[in-house]
Structure 1
Amino acid sequence: MQWWQILLITLYSGFAIYDGNNTTFGTVKPTMAGFFAGLILGDVQTGLVVGGTLNLLVLGVGNFGGSSMPDYMTGALLGTAFAVLSGKGAQFGATLAVPIGLLMIQLDVLARFCNTFLQHRAEKLVKDGKFKSATHMNLYGIIPTSLSRMIPVFLALIFGSQFVQNVVNNLPMWLMNGLKTAGGILPALGIAILLRYLPLKQNVAFLLIGFFLAAFLKVPVIGAAIIGLAMALVAFNHDSKPAQAEAATTGASDDDEGDMEDE
């Protein structure tokens, strides 16, 4: 692996985690990370397969507040790199990327912990009226967050997939089992959180239909999405008819009043 490839992928990991928390260009998404790593290493298809597979694991998952979630962006970068370099294919890369993403939870927590010092420092500066310095403290928070991704990515690319595998193998089994269980629960938890913000009581029939299509008829995601879009259009047209009728009635009443005034 060339030094410039290691450098670009390392820099991408630092920018992507910053982007995920601030500018939100989408580079933190596993699919984009896999695409970038595949582009740098000359195998875009493998990168898209690895990244797309990992993206399925984070659908409906969000790190609300100060919570941490599996970092499959880093997993996609390293999974793609190891899949291409080893020649074992996208399946090997995706399998290796899952424990990497789970392991990165601990480093994410460490980065957030480091940022508490900067935040407390910023609060003290605000109380002292030093607002410009307080702004700098908040900007410095980018450093531990980005380094929490850049350092492990750099080390993993330097030492290879065997280094990562040794780290994973030497972790206590109870810890890895707990992380895997949490990783399996998180997608369901994320969807449940999303449902809390949706008008579920008025649209529970649509939820039941979608569950029936996916669980019993095994309809693919694209097929279920097309059916959902069709149902949404029907519901929208049905709800808009009374509003259109009311608008037409109001317009007719205004015309009648205008004619009476003319008389």
Structure 2
Amino acid sequence: MGFPQIIALTVYAAFVTWEMLGPNFYLSKPVIAGLFAGAVMGDVATGLFIGGTLQLMVLGVGTYGGSSIPDYMSGALIGTAFAVTTGSTEIGLAVAVPVGLLLVQCDILGRFCNTAFQNMADAGAEEKNWRKVELGCLLGTIPWCLSRAIPVFLCLALGQDVVASLAAAAPEWLLNGFKCVSGMLPAVGIAILLHFMPLNRFWPYALLGFVLAAYLNVPMLGVALVGLAFAAVKYYEFTQQKPAVAAVAASTEGGTIDDDE
């Protein structure tokens, strides 16, 4: 792995962290990070595989209330880089998952350091010094960005040789264990997603998707298009119900409806 590639992935980690706090173009999604890392490393297919697998882990997870969740964006960057350099997606996933979990602590540290700048912004608000408020908010993004950029840089700059050596010396049973774990990740991600979905209302659609994929061997894109069609039908029904309800409410507002009309 060349130094320009390490810098590119580090800059991406920092930029995406800032982007999450502002514009939010969803560049922080693991599948997008994996795509970028794959393009930088010269293997887009591997990047999409690593990022897509990690994406399944966060489909039903959100940072509600400022909570910290596993940083699988950074995990996708590091996992893709290691997967390409070692030639094993199993090794890449085996590295990406614990990295994503460990970086939760870095996220907490970044938030903690950000408190000092937010206190400065609060003081500026009390003083009606709006320049100070802006400066506090802008400077507060620095520790947040560094909480991702520094670990990514260190892992890529210092860990790649170690990971490559471990991969070469790893016994067969350990590699088989990595394969088993990496195969379970999509199932775990889907289970998390199903836990948050209102299946008590929409279980027939989930069952239909399972039949299409498992028994009829319909590609994932085909299953997604079928789901899009059903979603469009439900949306149309929902939008048509609103005018009807509004019309009934308007007609009954002044009294009862005349049966002769």
Instruction: Return the TM-score normalized by structure 1.
Output: 0.71
Structure 2 residue matching 1:57: 3-state secondary structure: coil
1:212 counterpart = 2:211: no
1:137 counterpart = 2:136: yes
Question: Equivalent residues in 2 for 1:230-245 (5 A)?
Answer: 230-236=229-235, 240=240
Q: Contact (CA 8 Å) 1:17, 1:145: kept in 2 or not?
A: yes
Which structure 1 residue ranges, 5 or more long, are not aligned? 166-183, 248-263
Give % identity: 42
Which string of whole-angstrom CA distances, capped at 9 and with x for unpartnered residues, describes residues 118-149 of structure 1? 11221111101111111110001110011001
Q: CA deviation at 1:72?
A: 0.6
Q: 1:188 to 1:110 in 2, by over 3 A?
A: farther
Q: Who is 2:55 aligned against? A: 55
Which range moved further: 40-49 or 214-223? 214-223
Q: Contact (CA 8 Å) 1:31, 1:52: kept in 2 or not?
A: yes
Matched letter for residue 44 of structure 2: V
Which string of whole-angstrom CA distances, capped at 9 and with x for unpartnered residues, describes residues 165-224 of structure 1? 9xxxxxxxxxxxxxxxxxx9887667666x5xxxx6xx954x221343467886576555
Question: Equivalent residues in 2 for 1:127-166 (5 A)?
Answer: 127-161=126-160
Instruction: Return the TM-score normalized by structure 2.
Output: 0.72
Q: CA deviation at 1:26?
A: 2.3
Q: Who is 2:81 aligned against? A: 81
C-alpha distance in 1, partners of 2:231/2:94?
Answer: 37
Matched letter for residue 14 of structure 2: G
Q: CA deviation at 1:12?
A: 0.7
C-alpha distance in 2, partners of 1:191/1:20?
Answer: 25
Structure 2 residue matching 1:58: 3-state secondary structure: coil
C-alpha distance in 2, partners of 1:122/1:147?
Answer: 20
Which structure 2 residue ranges, 5 or more long, are not aligned? 165-186, 248-261
Q: 1:124 to 1:87 in 2, by over 3 A?
A: same
Query: Which has the bigger relative contact order, CA under 8 A and spacing at least 6?
Result: 2
C-alpha distance in 2, partners of 1:13/1:238?
Answer: 42
Structure 1 residue matching 2:57: 3-state secondary structure: helix
Which range moved further: 218-227 or 155-164? 218-227
Q: 1:117 to 1:241 in 2, by over 3 A?
A: closer
Q: CA deviation at 1:44?
A: 1.4
Q: Who is 1:176 aligned against? A: none
Q: 1:163 to 1:152 in 2, by over 3 A?
A: farther
Structure 2 residue matching 1:65: 3-state secondary structure: helix
Structure 2 residue matching 1:147: 3-state secondary structure: helix
Q: CA deviation at 1:230?
A: 3.4
Q: 1:49 to 1:136 in 2, by over 3 A?
A: same
Q: Who is 1:173 aligned against? A: none
Q: Contact (CA 8 Å) 2:57, 2:188: kept in 1 or not?
A: no
C-alpha distance in 2, partners of 1:131/1:222?
Answer: 50
Q: CA deviation at 1:164?
A: 7.8
Q: Contact (CA 8 Å) 1:70, 1:101: kept in 2 or not?
A: yes
C-alpha distance in 2, partners of 1:45/1:225?
Answer: 20
Structure 1 residue matching 2:20: 3-state secondary structure: helix
Q: Contact (CA 8 Å) 2:33, 2:51: kept in 1 or not?
A: yes
Q: Who is 1:174 aligned against? A: none
Structure 1 residue matching 2:64: 3-state secondary structure: coil
Which string of whole-angstrom CA distances, capped at 9 and with x for unpartnered residues, describes residues 100-120 of structure 1? 101111110111111112112
- Superposed CA RMSD in Å reads 3.3
Q: CA deviation at 1:8?
A: 1.0
Q: 1:44 to 1:215 in 2, by over 3 A?
A: closer
Q: 1:232 to 1:116 in 2, by over 3 A?
A: same
